[in-house]
Each structure stands twice: as C-alpha cells, then as structure tokens.
Structure 1
Amino acid sequence: MDFDFSDDQEQLRDAVRRWVDRSYTFERRRAAVKAGGFDRTTYGELAELGLAGLYVPEDQGGMGMGPVEAMVVMEELGRGMVLEPLGQTLIASGVLGAYAPQDLQDAWLPRIASGDALVVLAHQERRARWRLDVSETQATESGGAWQLSGTKSLVPAGDEADAFLVPAMAQGRLALFLVEQGGGVHASGYVTQDGSRAAEVKFDKAPATLVAQDGLPALEHAVDIGIAALCAEAVGVIDKTMALTADYMNTRKQFGVPIASFQALRHRMADMKMQQELARSMSYYASLKLNAPAEERRRAMARAKYQLNVAMRFVGQNSVQLHGGIGVTDEYIGSHYFKKLTQMELTFGDTLHHLGEVSSRMQDTAGVFA
C-alpha cells in the first residue's frame, strides 16, 4: 500500500505548518488561554487558509477535500496545540453535508466554509457517559416547528458558537437537530484543563431545525469524524512532545554528560518512539476507514482511539518523568503538551470505554481458537 502523500497534500501540510510556526506562538496561545481559551480572530485566520471548508463541497464555497487532507491539517494544528476547535467544524460540515436537507445545507455550509459561522456538536450528558444512544434532552413538535429542552455538557466553545448539532429524543427515537444560538439557549462557558474553552449549554424550549429523523447513525458518524480528527491531532501533539523530550535530554547534563547518554533513559525513549509510531499508523487507519460502511467504520474508530489513548498516556507521562520537575511547571511548554494529551485521552471516550467497544464489536471468529 502506498502511504506517500500527494503534492497537494504536502503543500497543504506546509501551509498549515508555516502558519503554526510563524503565527501561533506559545506566547500567543498563553494569551488566548488567559483571555478565555477561544479567539475568534485566530479562528478567522484558519478559515482564511481554507481549513474551515475542508469538508464543504466546492460549489458551497469549500475545498471539497477528504479525510486524508483533514488528517494532515489536524496533525499540524496538534503540533501547535491550537485551541480553536477546527475538529468541530469538520464534524458539522461533514454531518450537514451527508444528512441535512438541501435547504439547510445551502443556509449553513457556505457560512461554515467562510468562517462566519462556528457550528459545534453538543451531545454529551452527565448520565450518558460516552454512550450515544442515551439522551435526556427532549424535542417536541407543534405546528411543524420543533423545540428542544435539556442540558448538554462540555460543549466545545459552547458560549462562542453560532449554532449546535444536538441529539434529542423525538417521538420515541433519537433525532438530530440544529439549534441556533439565541432565544432558549443559555450557555455557561469556562476554560478546560488544557486551556481550551467549553460550556454547559441549557436548552429551554429552544427553536430547532430537524437534521435527521433517524439521528443515531448521524450522531455516530459525527463522533467518528471527531475521533479521526482527534487521533490526527494527537499524533501532532505526540510528535512535538517527543521532540521536546529528546532536545531536553541532549542538553540536560548529569555527572558531566548529557542524560541522553544513559542507557536506561535511551530505552525509555525507544519505548516512547514505539508508541509514537503505533499512534501514527492507527491515525492513518482511522482516516482511511472514515468513509467505510458504518459498522466497519465504528469498529475501526474504536480500535484507533484505544491505541491512541494508550500512546497519549504513555508518551505524556514518560515525558514528564524524563524531564523531572520542570516537566510539570506552567512556564515550560512541555507541561502544556502533557495536559493536552491527558484531556484528549478522555475526549470521545476513554481507554476502557473503547476497549469495551472493540470487545463488543469482535466477530464470532475472533480469537486464537477460531
């Protein structure tokens, strides 16, 4: 199988990497965290690069690209720990383009592609954990108009978003709706552990537009787009964490020599390198399976997220150990990569959740005795 990237994909990677290196410095990120964890100006810069329109068709003002291009972009944004939730934009544009009525696509996809509208997925509830088929949010219809009532937690940039994709129970089944920020929507924002912004969003008879009556397949697809994007972003974070750790070991001296010369620490770095490459290969796997049939896609995402979770925890924790005390100080950039990896492990399902998903989706012929 050919894993080489095309010239267009490499040019896209170079463009995003140059923006991260030149424009998204650690100091700019720290300032954004202090200001609340989301910067509309920065998001506008991503849109100017065309990144908000990656999944939007060209006739809707987007770039009409696919999962591999999204993977390339998210890797580079991961290197810079970019706070703005581009992964949510990929979710919104992918789901609206695949499931929404044409008039809803015409109304929102061009605005998403231009960066004028930020649409995020609001699906998590306190009692649901990571189960997608559990929702206490209710939707009611009256005179052809829908209203939603319920609360969603940990909504990315929830108090800054222009609209939400919201799963809710409607007439006894899970449906997916688009809800605009405004009347009936109350968002309480806060900064999360990794410096990004999230919110608790309460819907109180909020006007809603139906995206998909059979909402569970659309929601599963939305989460799978998010998992693939997160896996790619995690690879970028891991790459940078490894580079920082190697540089520190080559400059930090003990007993008059760099600690990189100590065999035990070199073995630790070798183990981290193994996890880094496993993470990369499974991120490729996730992106390549994103357009597969639903059951195959869901199985692939669970496998990929499980392996990425293991790699994120291993690389993050061992990086701190190899740095020593400086590895957890706020002034040092490495501690922020560690916090990023820790939070990403819990996003869209933690390690045990996805191990359970992999187990439940194993075929009858799986196992050494098959």
Structure 2
Amino acid sequence: MDFDFSDDQQSLRDAVRKWVDKGYDFERRRKAVKAGGFDRAAYGELADLGLAGLYIAEDHGGMGMGPVEAMVVMEELGRGMVLEPLGQTLIASGLLAGYAPAALQSAWLPRIAGGAALVVLAQVERKARYRLDVCATTAAQSGNTWTVSGAKSIVPAGDQADAFLVPATVKGRIAMFLVERSAAGVTARGYGTQAGGRAAEVSFKDSPASLVTEDGLAALEHGVDIGIAATCAEGVGVIDKTMDVTVEYMNTRKQFGATLASFQALRHRVADMKMQQELARSMSYYASLKLNAPAPERRSAMARAKYQLGVAMRFVGQNSVQLHGGIGVTDEYIGSHYFKKLTELELSFGDSLHQLGEVSERMQDTAGVFA
C-alpha cells in the first residue's frame, strides 16, 4: 500500500501549515481564549482557504476532497491547537451531503463551504455516556412541519453556531434534524472548555426543525466516525508539537551540569513517547482510510483507532509534563496547553475506556487475529 501523499495533498498541507505558523500563533490563540474561545474571523480565514468546503462537492461551492485530505488539514490545525471547530464542519458536510434531501443540501452546503454558516453536531446528552442509541430528545410532526424538544450538552461553539444537527426520537426510532439557532424555543448557554475552546448547553422547546433523514442512528454513527477520524488526525498534530517542545527542552535544560537529554533513563522515556507518537500516526492513517468502508467495518476501525490515539495522547502528554517538571503545568508555557488539548481530545467522541468496550463488542471469534 502506498502511503506517500500526492503533490496536491502536500500543497494542501503546506498551505495550512503556513497559515497556522504565520496567521495563528500562540498569542493570537491566547487572545481568542480570553475572548471566549471562538474567533469568527479565524474561522472565516479557514473558509477562505477552502477548508470549510473540503467534503462539499464542487457543485455546491466546495473542494470535493476526501478523508485523506481532511486528515492532512486536521493534523496541521492540531499543530497550532486551532480553536475553531473545523472538524464539526466536516461532520455537518458529510451528513448533509450523504443523507439530507436535495433542497436542504442546496440551502446549506454552499453557505457552509463559503464560511457563511457554521453547522455543528449536537448529540451529547447527560444520560447517554457516549452511547449513540440513547436519545431523550424528541421530535413531533404536525402536517409537513417538525418540532424538536430536548437538551444537548457540550455542543461545540454551540452559542456561536448558525444551526445544529440534532438526533431526536420519533416513535421509538432516532431521526436526524437540522435546527437553526435563531429558531423559536432554542436557547444556548455558552462556556469555555478545558483546552480554551468554546461549547454550550443547548435546549430546544418545540423548536421548528427540518428533517435530514429518518435513519438518524446510521447518520449519527457516520457523523461521529467522521469526528473520530478528524480527532485522531488533530491529536497526531498536537502530539508532534508536544514531542518537539519536549525534545527542545531536554536539549537545553541543564541539571547537575549536564543537559537532561544526556541522562539515559530520560532518553528511554522519550523513546517510549516516540513509539506512541508513531502508533498514533499509523492508527490515524488507518481511521482515515477506513472512513468510507461499510458501516460495520468502519465502526470497528474507528473504535480501534480512537482507543490507540487515546492511549498515545495520555502517555505523551503526561510524560511531557513530567519531563518538564513544574514549568510543564504553567499557563505561560505552551507545553501545558498541548497537555490540556490532548486531554480534551482523549475524551472527545468516547474516551479510551469506552472505545475499548466498543472494540471488545465488535470482536469476532478469532478476536481479530486471523480475520
């Protein structure tokens, strides 16, 4: 299998890396965190690069690209710990393009591609505990109109988004709806997240909604899998930068008259971190390559990838802090922000313990050894 990136993919990586290095430095990120954790201007710049339209067909103003290109982009955004939720845009684009009726696609996909509209997935409920088939939010139909009632938690940029993709139960089955934030009965209470981003508690009370698909559980699983692949790629980018600052620190910080990098025990620890870094990268590739596989194969692959990424993110982040000592947890030092970002990503779309359970449930008689 050829793992070399094409010239177009390399050019895409270079363009995003250039923007991160020159247009989204640590000071700009810090200002965005203080301002609430979301910068609409920065999101607009991502859209100007065409990134909001990665998964959107050219007919709707997008770039018509696929999972590998999205992985390349998310890695680079991870390197800069970019706060703006492009991963959510990938989810919304994939779900609307794959499941929504033509009229809904025409109304929203061009706006998403151009950066005029931010649409996010609002699926987390307090009692669900990462389970996608648990949904207390309900939808009701009256003639040709739908309304949604319920509450969703930890909705990315929920008080800044223009619309939500909302799973809701209809006659015992989960369907997927699009609800505009400006719709009647919608309230959003925003707050900052651990890693500096923004989320919200969103409630719906008989809020007008547009039906995306009646097969909502399949759509939700697909959307979450897009999110997992994006999270894995973003995590690789954060791990890369965490490794960079850790190695640089060990090569400059002196103890007992010698640099930390000269101590064999510490070098062994960095070697273990490097192994986790490469395991994370290979499993991120695996997740992206499996994103268009049939649903059972795709779901199993995402659980495996997210579990390994969770282990790697926790290991690299914790060891980086330990190798730095006290400075590793100070707000002034960028390494502490990488650690917080890795911790947040490990919990996104199902933590490692949850994903280990998912892997276990999907094992065949061979336990995956000969399958």
TM-score of the superposed pair, with normalisation by structure 2: 0.99
- What SS class does the counterpart of residue 305 from structure 1 fall into? helix
User: 1:24-70 CA distances to partner (integer Å, 9 max, x unpaired)?
Assistant: 01000000000000010000000000000000000100000000000
Instruction: Report the counterpart of residue 312 of structure 1 in structure 2.
Output: 313
- What SS class does the counterpart of residue 207 from structure 2 fall into? strand
C-alpha RMSD of matched pairs (Å): 1.0
Give the gaps of 5 or more residues in structure 2.
none
Instruction: Report the counterpart of residue 221 of structure 1 in structure 2.
Output: 222
Q: Give the aligned residue type for 1:290.
A: L
Instruction: Report the counterpart of residue 321 of structure 1 in structure 2.
Output: 322
TM-score of the superposed pair, with normalisation by structure 1: 0.99
- What SS class does the counterpart of residue 331 from structure 1 fall into? coil
Pairwise CA distance, 1:144: 1.4
Q: Give the aligned residue type for 1:75.
A: E
- What SS class does the counterpart of residue 115 from structure 1 fall into? coil
Aligned partners of 2:70 and 2:367: how far apart in 1? 32
- Report 1:160-309 matches (<5 A): 160-182=160-182, 183-309=184-310
Aligned partners of 1:42 and 1:290: how far apart in 2? 28
- What SS class does the counterpart of residue 63 from structure 1 fall into? coil
Pairwise CA distance, 1:214: 1.2
Q: Give the aligned residue type for 2:120.
A: V
Instruction: Report the counterpart of residue 130 of structure 1 in structure 2.
Output: 130
Q: 1:333 to 1:369 in 2, by over 3 A?
A: closer
Pairwise CA distance, 1:368: 7.1
- What SS class does the counterpart of residue 2 from structure 1 fall into? coil
User: 1:59-110 CA distances to partner (integer Å, 9 max, x unpaired)?
Assistant: 1000000000000000000000000000000000001000000010000000
Give the gaps of 5 or more residues in structure 1.
none
Instruction: Report the counterpart of residue 106 of structure 2 in structure 1.
Output: 106
Q: 1:14 to 1:125 in 2, by over 3 A?
A: same
Q: 1:138 to 1:81 in 2, by over 3 A?
A: same
- What SS class does the counterpart of residue 336 from structure 1 fall into? helix
Pairwise CA distance, 1:366: 2.0
Instruction: Report the counterpart of residue 41 of structure 1 in structure 2.
Output: 41
Q: Bigger shift: 152-161 or 171-180?
A: 171-180
Q: 1:217 to 1:269 in 2, by over 3 A?
A: same
Aligned partners of 1:184 and 1:15: how far apart in 2? 41
Instruction: Report the counterpart of residue 95 of structure 2 in structure 1.
Output: 95
Question: Is structure 2 residue 146 aligned with structure 1 residue 151?
Answer: no
The ranges of structure 1 where at least 4 consecutive aligned residues each deviate by more than 6 angstroms after the TM superposition are 367-370
Aligned partners of 1:328 and 1:287: how far apart in 2? 32
Pairwise CA distance, 1:365: 2.4
Instruction: Report the counterpart of residue 121 of structure 1 in structure 2.
Output: 121
Aligned partners of 1:167 and 1:24: how far apart in 2? 34
Structure 1 vs Structure 2: percent identity of aligned residues? 79
Q: Give the aligned residue type for 2:304.
A: R
Q: 1:82 to 1:368 in 2, by over 3 A?
A: closer
Aligned partners of 2:370 and 2:39: how far apart in 1? 54
- What SS class does the counterpart of residue 127 from structure 1 fall into? coil
Aligned partners of 1:15 and 1:350: how far apart in 2? 32
Pairwise CA distance, 1:239: 0.1
Aligned partners of 1:353 and 1:24: how far apart in 2? 33
- What SS class does the counterpart of residue 135 from structure 2 fall into? coil
Q: Give the aligned residue type for 2:246.
A: T
Q: Give the aligned residue type for 1:97.
A: A
Pairwise CA distance, 1:128: 0.3
- What SS class does the counterpart of residue 63 from structure 2 fall into? coil
Aligned partners of 1:344 and 1:5: how far apart in 2? 25
Pairwise CA distance, 1:172: 1.8
Aligned partners of 2:134 and 2:365: how far apart in 1? 27
